[in-house]
Amino acid sequence: MNQAQPPQAPLHQQQLLQKIEARTATVGIIGLGYVGLPLALAVCEAGFGQVIGFDIDPDKIHALRTGGCYIKHLDVSRVQQATQSQNGQKAPLEVTADYSRVTDVDVLVMCVPTPLTKHREPDLRFLINTLSAIQPHLHKGMLLSLESTTYPGTTEEYLVPLVQLQKLTVGDDIFVVFSPEREDPGNKQFPTASIPKVCGGISQHCLAAGSAFYQTVVNQVVPVSSTRAAEMTKLLENIHRAVNIGLVNEMKIVADKMHIDIHEVIDAAATKPFGFTKYTPGPGLGGHCIPIDPFYLTWKAREYGINTRFIELAGEVNRAMPEWVVSKLMDALNERGKALKGSKILVLGIAYKKNIDDARESPAIKIMELLRSKGAEIAYSDPHIPTFPKMRDHRFELSSVELTAESVGGFDGVLLTTDHDKFDYPLVESASDILIDTRNRYQNSAKIIKG
């Protein structure tokens, strides 16, 4: 009895795999932000000599063309190595806003934003606009990969119909995969190439093409059975974190009422060698993933008649943390006979986590808005963000305050919301009257109020 043989790879797949193996494939990456730019650099460093980065932001294009870098935690020498000619050789990374260049690429990776609407529903405008722009330039023999976090089914519902409109057959003419980004900005322990890459394809031929490409860039590829499984994997990773952070944030509030140091409790629990994972509380959730991704699943789950109560409860707890921090500040001011209205408050750190310049979804900014709504005078200090960034939903005409004993002493209260290593913590402690620490940076000071 003859065993069934695996289907022969289609001609276009064979040709694509040969180009990938030889590093002669032209790789296009759409979106040169915190995910796309590190990926573009990793592709160049993997030996691909023709990489095209696409972005609609002219400031990013200009910065990269002139050897600059707008992402501070990235080594500018890596950017210059990729974008500048070396010894008369053409630079491997070319940047452009011209989507017609998609015609030239063999591998196209999309790293576009997928935020939420104000009603906490998926906002796929960036993805839809990108797909519309590239549609006329899709062609046979290319790999199309989506890395943007989204709900299970997005790749099938948006990318596959787009390809079919161009009279291309998925798995034969063109190869479609979903491979979720796992970038952790500022984490030097896990650069892009060291992070295992999950990959799911529309078909086995698609998966083979996607795995072949990513294997040239990262140390390990983790294949899964479908694009839906890959999409769900990314959501589970971040929901796991969101739920556990929600748990310790709620525990922090309970412990505070009981006059128990929650950080002491967490450190003690973490000595258990099994069954416990350490998560630490903070002023809320921030960044481009954890505050957003869970709601992609809750929205999609409603289509199946499922209410994700556990996930939504964790979201409610985490969203309430900025208000709890402000209440701690108000209590401290009240004890000194002061009202929050009219008080001068300094917010230390507006990035969503330490030592980076990314303020997306930062709880510090939500705290600033709460303070402003209650009549406080607000200033901030952040060594990584000298001027308050342009944002769609948040506006402050502010620049970072230099920390001196005189400047800190001029504020009625100081809120430590992001514990950058560059802050002069002894100076802040000695010069401030009220200091709320939401990150447990000051572990053994009776003066500090834990927030």
Instruction: Tell me the per-residue pLDDT of 156-202, one tens digit each, with 9 for 90 and over.
Output: 999 999 999 999 999 999 999 999 999 888 888 899 999 999 999 99
Beta carbons of 345 and 376 less than 8 angstroms apart: yes
| Paired tokens of 80 | 């210059």
C-alpha dist (Å) from residue 227 to 154, 217, 294, 366: 9, 20, 18, 35
SS (H, E, C) 16-79: HHHHHHHCCCCEEEECCCCCHHHHHHHHHHCCCCCEEEECCCHHHHHHHHCCCCCCCCCCHHHH
Average pLDDT over the chain, rounded to an integer = 93
Closest CA to 83 of 145, 32, 30: 32
- Span 245-450 CATH architecture: 3-Layer(aba) Sandwich (3.40)
What percentage of residues in the chain have a pLDDT greater than 90? 84
pTM of the predicted model as reported, rounded to 2 decimal places:
0.90
Instruction: Tell me the per-residue pLDDT of 81-92, one tens digit each, with 9 for 90 and over.
Output: 999 887 778 889
Closest CA to 384 of 362, 400, 397, 369: 400
- Among the residues of 135-184, which ranges form H helices? 154, 160-165
Q: What is the pLDDT of residue 3?
A: 46
Q: Which amino acid is at 33?
A: G
What percentage of residues in the chain have a pLDDT greater than 70? 98
| Paired tokens of 53 | 């980065």
pLDDT of 273 strictly over 90 = yes
Every domain of the chain and the residues it spans = 11-225, 245-450
Max mean pLDDT among 60-74, 130-144, 386-400 falls in: 130-144
pLDDT class of 7 with cuts at 50, 70, 90: low
- Measured CA to CA, the distance from residue 123 to residue 418 in angstroms comes to 28
pLDDT of 428 strictly over 50 = yes
pLDDT of 1 strictly over 50 = no
Instruction: Tell me the per-residue pLDDT of 113-156, one tens digit each, with 9 for 90 and over.
Output: 998 888 888 999 999 999 999 999 999 999 999 999 999 999 99
Q: What is the C-alpha radius of gyration for the chain, rounded to an integer number of angstroms?
A: 24
- Asked if the domains 11-225 and 245-450 are classified in one and the same CATH topology, the answer is yes
CATH number of 11-225: 3.40.50.720
C-alpha dist (Å) from residue 138 to 28, 84, 135, 164, 223: 12, 28, 6, 10, 25
pLDDT of 4 strictly over 60 = no
- Among the residues of 181-226, which ranges form H helices? 204-215
Give the mean model confidence (pLDDT) for residues 410-437.
Answer: 96
Q: Assess whether 199 carries a catalytic annotation.
A: no
Beta carbons of 177 and 206 less than 8 angstroms apart: yes
